[in-house]
Every structure is written in structure tokens, then in C-alpha cells.
């Protein structure tokens, strides 16, 4: 009898000598996408640490304005002085928040631009073409505004063009939130904006408008002409007689309101705005107006000190000497009462000159385009000034 151990050894030897059977790879088909081989893992000492995922902080949520003590005091004041329903104001302010981006915009230092750079922003082909189109579209309203208020179409069109690109950019901030932010979180001018906020609520109540509905600039200016609420209450007009003063969606009301604003600030129909001059000698430098005051000299006195008008003008006409920085050095102009009136819309000589020059360019292009109604001839105004 053979040993069981001998039989076991023979069996193991036969198994070891048997041929190895090949292992087939799986068949690749269109339904089976190829999978890249898994790379060999490096030693644990060289493996990067697992990424730590940090949850992003939730965006900061500002409390509603109604939760603030200073806003509550304002609500009580509006109720006492103007008869507002406190509960309704509470509901309005509970749906509004302050906007920190407005404070950042107001606090940003103003970048002083020379005249030639400032001019390029506003007196360019795009705004000139837009002004001609605006004039053609609203020729009847512009003509009526000139008849009623004495302000020429090119000036009204230029104001709307400079302010909002003819309604293309009237601002994206809620007016209520802009004014509230500046009234309660901008101490430097809080008093002014608190009054404007009060005027805004009075305005929306009078016009039957939801205070949360209107949009404007970060400073609270509104509509095609960018009126502040106090200006709206004082100068906005219902120029189409529909019972509402709509400066957002009704260009006729906007046109009449801008013209009325100029009329109420002393616009003189038919008079010049500004004309170029040459200067000589040394006396003229001290005559340059650096303020926004009405003209105090007259043309004759300025002529005696080396200021020579380059267009006809009455020697008795009140005027001020203006200086602007061009690319080739300073240029000089005489500004008249109507120039000063434009600065009442925006307190800047650069702004007033931009409005004037844009208006001139719009008027000239409008006349050349063969429009039915051309702007008044400049010589006719000059002749009238001599009478």
C-alpha cells in the first residue's frame, strides 16, 4: 500500500506542471466605454493631503430699514408733520435695506478731469446722433416747450442726453433705498438726503406711486432728466395733461419739466450762452471766474482789460471770463446769464459747457439732416441781442 503522503506529493507535482490558462480582457463595445487603468498609488509619504473644503460664508444680510431706531423716528416725524399712516410707512421700510455700495460710490474721491477729457465723454458722435433722433421723435413736444418756456430744443435735448443718454440709463437703484442709505448712513450730507427722502415720500403719495417701485441713480436722481425729489415737486410738470407727472416713461413730461426748470431759474430766451474770446496782456488772468456765481462784469469792461470777443455781442451784456484746458493749452470763453442758468442744473462749469456744445452739435446736425423744423439761426439771436 502506497503511502498517502506519496500520493499527495505526486498530485501537487502534476498541478504545478500544468500550463497556465490565459485570462481574456473584457470585449470593448460601443456600450462599454474604455476606462483608463488606475495608476499606481505613490507611497503614502508623497501623497498630497486631502483637500479641506471650507463652506462659503453666507452673504451678509442687512436688516430691514424698519428695524432701525433712526428710521422709526423718521416714520413718527413723517406721520406728525405730513399725516402719513405710520403702519404703511412701517410696511414700506420693512421691505427696504441700506446699500453699502452707495456709500462707497459717494465716498470715492472725484476724479478731476481736464476739459478736453470731460468733453469727450459727452460731446461725441453717439450722443449727437442720439440727440438728433430724440429731437425728431419728440419734435412737437420740444417745440411746444420752447413756445411755453423759451428754452430751445437743442438745450433740452442736450440735458437729457448728458444726464441719461436720452433715457437709456436712468439708474438701477431703488430710489427709496438710495435716499435712505444716504439719509441714515452718510453723516456728511445726512440732513440734505433726509429732506430728499421726505420729499420723495410726499412725491410718491401725490402721484399715487409705490415708493418701492421707482429706480434712479445712487444719489436718488430720477427719470430722463435726473430730478431729485425736491426738484420734482418744484419743477416737474404734467406736460401732456394726463393728470400725472411721469419723468420715467413719458418723454413729453420730461421735456416740459426740464424746460420749466430752466425757465424758473432765469433762462433768457434768444440770448447767447457763451462765445469764444481771445486774451492779451496780463490783466485778464485775474478776471477768470473760478466760482459758480452769476456774471458780474460786462463785455465792455472785459474788453478794456484784454478780452476780445470772437463773435458779435453787446458791450452792455453781463458776462464772466471762463477758462478751459484744451489739449493745446487754455481756451477762453465769455459766459453769459444763460451759461450760469445751466450751472443751476449741475453745479459745474465743465457740465454747462458740455451741455452747450452738445446742444450746438445736435442743432447743426439736425439742420443738416433735412428735418422739417430747423433750430433758430444764431445770427437772429445775435441781432436780437443788439436791439
| DSSP code string of 75-115 | HHHHHHHH---HHHHHHHHHT----HHHHHHHHSPP----H
Find where cell 438745450 sits. Answer: 155
Q: 331: which 3 cell numbers? A: 481756451
- DSSP state letter for 273: -
C-alpha 75/C-alpha 66 separation (Å) is 9
C-alpha 379/C-alpha 312 separation (Å) is 9
Nearest to 100, CA basis, from 171, 214, 184: 184
C-alpha 211/C-alpha 90 separation (Å) is 12
C-alpha 299/C-alpha 320 separation (Å) is 8
C-alpha 144/C-alpha 232 separation (Å) is 20
C-alpha 165/C-alpha 130 separation (Å) is 7
End-to-end CA distance of the chain: 152
Is the separation of the CB atoms in 353 and 333 below 8 Å?
yes
Q: 156: which 3 cell numbers? A: 433740452
C-alpha 162/C-alpha 338 separation (Å) is 17
- Burial (CB < 10 A; 0-12, 13-18, 19+), residue 268, is middle
C-alpha 97/C-alpha 111 separation (Å) is 29
- Beta bridge partners, 335, equal 274, 320
Report the SS3 class of residue 335. strand
Known catalytic residues? Answer: 163
Nearest to 312, CA basis, from 384, 214, 248, 219: 384
Q: 201: which 3 cell numbers? A: 415720500
Amino acid at each position: 500500500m502506497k503511502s498517502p503522503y506519496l500520493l499527495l506529493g505526486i498530485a501537487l507535482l502534476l498541478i504545478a506542471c500544468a500550463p497556465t490558462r490565459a485570462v481574456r480582457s473584457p470585449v470593448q463595445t460601443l456600450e462599454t466605454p474604455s476606462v483608463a487603468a488606475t495608476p499606481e498609488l505613490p507611497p503614502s509619504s508623497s501623497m498630497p493631503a486631502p483637500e479641506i473644503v471650507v463652506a462659503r460664508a453666507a452673504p451678509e444680510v442687512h436688516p430691514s430699514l424698519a428695524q432701525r431706531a433712526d428710521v422709526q423716528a423718521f416714520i413718527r416725524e413723517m406721520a406728525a408733520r405730513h399725516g402719513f399712516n405710520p403702519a404703511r410707512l412701517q410696511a414700506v421700510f420693512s421691505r427696504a435695506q441700506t446699500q453699502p455700495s452707495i456709500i462707497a460710490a459717494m465716498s470715492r474721491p472725484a476724479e478731476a478731469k481736464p476739459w478736453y477729457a470731460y468733453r469727450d465723454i459727452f460731446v461725441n458722435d453717439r450722443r449727437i446722433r442720439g440727440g438728433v433722433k430724440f429731437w425728431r421723435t419728440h419734435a412737437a413736444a420740444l417745440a411746444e416747450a420752447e413756445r411755453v418756456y423759451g428754452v430751445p430744443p437743442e438745450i433740452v435735448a442736450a440735458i437729457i442726453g448728458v444726464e441719461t443718454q436720452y433715457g437709456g440709463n436712468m439708474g438701477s437703484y431703488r430710489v427709496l433705498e438710495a435716499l435712505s442709505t444716504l439719509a441714515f448712513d452718510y453723516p456728511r450730507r445726512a440732513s440734505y438726503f433726509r429732506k430728499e427722502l421726505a420729499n420723495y415720500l410726499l412725491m410718491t403719495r401725490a402721484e399715487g406711486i409705490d415708493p418701492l417701485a421707482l429706480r434712479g441713480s445712487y444719489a436718488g436722481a430720477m427719470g430722463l432728466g435726473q430730478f431729485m425729489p425736491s426738484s420734482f415737486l418744484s419743477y416737474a410738470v404734467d406736460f401732456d395733461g394726463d393728470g400725472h407727472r411721469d419723468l420715467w416713461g413719458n418723454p413729453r413730461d420730461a421735456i416740459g419739466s426740464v424746460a420749466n426748470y430752466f425757465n424758473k431759474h432765469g433762462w433768457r430766451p434768444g440770448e447767447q450762452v457763451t462765445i469764444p474770446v481771445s486774451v492779451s496782456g496780463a490783466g485778464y488772468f485775474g478776471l477768470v471766474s473760478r466760482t459758480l456765481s452769476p456774471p458780474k462784469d460786462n463785455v465792455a469792461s472785459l474788453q478794456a482789460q484784454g478780452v476780445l470777443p470772437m463773435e458779435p455781442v453787446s458791450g452792455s451784456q453781463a458776462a464772466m471770463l471762463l477758462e478751459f484746458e484744451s489739449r493745446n493749452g487754455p481756451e477762453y470763453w465769455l459766459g453769459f446769464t444763460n451759461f450760469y442758468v445751466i450751472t443751476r442744473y449741475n453745479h459745474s462749469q465743465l457740465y454747462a459747457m458740455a451741455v452747450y456744445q452738445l446742444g450746438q452739435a445736435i442743432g447743426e446736425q439736425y439742420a443738416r439732416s433735412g428735418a422739417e423744423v430747423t433750430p433758430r439761426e444764431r445770427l437772429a439771436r445775435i441781432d436780437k441781442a443788439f436791439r
